[in-house]
Structure formats: C-alpha cells, structure tokens
Amino acid sequence: MKTFTLIFSLALALAFSTLSLEASSGKGQQPHARAFEVPGHDPIGKPGDGSSIDRTIEISVRETASGYMLFEPDAIQIESGSVVRFSIRNTGALNHEFFLGSFDEVAKHQQWMREHPDMQHDSANSVSIPSGQNADLIWEFSDVTSLEFACLIPGHREAGMWGVIIVHDHLAPKSKG
C-alpha cells in the first residue's frame, strides 16, 4: 500500500512538472501577458482603442543619482468607467517599461521576467519606453479596484519602479483632456 502511494505521488509530481515546463516554454506563453482576457481573472479593465479618451495622465520615468528608478507620480486615482491615456516620458539613461496589472499579476510576471530576462513584453497592458522617448498606453478602467504599475525589467521594480492606481466610483466627474 505504501509503495503504491509513493508511486502514485511520484507520477503526480511528474505530471505537474511536465505541465509547468510546457507552460513556461516558448514565446507567447507568458503567464498573465493577456490576463485581462481570461474569464474570471482579476478585473483590471481592458485596452482602450483610442477612439475616446476621458483623461490623459502624464508619467515621467527617471533614474536618480543615488540609484533609484522612479515613476512620477507613483500614486494615481482614477474614476471607474473612464478611459485613460498614460503618456509616459522616459528621461532616464536606461530603457524602461510600463506594465499594468493586479498586484498578483505583477508579482508573478516579475518572477517570470527574472527567468526570461531577454523577453520583450508584447501585450496591450504593457508598453516599453526606450531612453529619451515617449510612449502611450490607453486603458479603460471598468472596475472599482486597486492596481499596480511597474517596470519588470529585472532589478528595476526592486529599485523603485512601481506605483499604485486606485480606481474609485466616487470621484468628481471625469476631467476631459
């Protein structure tokens, strides 16, 4: 009986390791890259097509002399239901990225990026901002929630590149522009 249990658990462990190996191999298999499309997933909103924008939020990215890497601002309040254009300017010397997700997704994706440091993100909830350039990301915040934005290039979030977005349903009317 003991032997059977042992063999059964070994087989189970093997099955699971094969599964996770398949899940982590190959481009386009990034966990949570398009999490917003998965039914029952954390409600983070969805990409905006740019046809209507309720608000533009300017974010700058810079590195400090003491070694920090920062988003400014790093705490943002947004009214639920609004479509926001993030206009991100990278004034730093390094390339950076802006990845939007739930706290859980950001943590998981950060781990994934550590294991695949050469991978570029290719999804609607992230954008890369080369040094000295600007990039836009348009997002519709449909749900009342709190989210994180971060740069998941290995070492960058650890150096300070993260911030929070609080999506409320009780803010003043949307500000245009």
Residue partners of 162: CB distance under 8 A and separation at least 6: 71, 74, 106, 148, 149, 150, 151
Which of 72, 85, 125 minimizes the C-alpha distance to 102? Answer: 125
Least separation in angstroms between residue 25's CB and Cu ion is: 26
Using CB under 5 A, pick the residue from 32, 96, 109, 121 that binds Cu ion: 96
- How many residues bind to Cu ion according to rule CB under 5 A? 5
Site membership for Cu ion, residue 151 (CB under 5 A) = yes
For Cu ion, the closer of residues 135 and 151 by Cβ is: 151
Task: Tell me the pairing of strands 162-168 and 134-141.
Answer: unpaired
Helix and strand numbers, DSSP H then E, in the chain? 2, 10
Site membership for Cu ion, residue 157 (CB under 5 A) = no
Mask of contacts with Cu ion, 61-90, x by CB under 5 A?
A: ------------------------------
Site membership for Cu ion, residue 153 (CB under 5 A) = yes
For Cu ion, the closer of residues 129 and 138 by Cβ is: 129
Q: Does an H or E element contain 50, and which?
A: none
Using CB under 5 A, pick the residue from 78, 79, 156, 167 that binds Cu ion: 156
Which of 73, 76, 109 minimizes the C-alpha distance to 89? Answer: 73
For Cu ion, the closer of residues 59 and 167 by Cβ is: 59
CA angle 103, 104, 105 (to 5 degrees): 95
Site membership for Cu ion, residue 32 (CB under 5 A) = no
For Cu ion, the closer of residues 33 and 153 by Cβ is: 153
Angstrom distance (rounded) from CA 32 to CA 111: 12
Question: Residue numbers of the site for Cu ion (CB under 5 A)?
Answer: 96, 151, 153, 156, 161
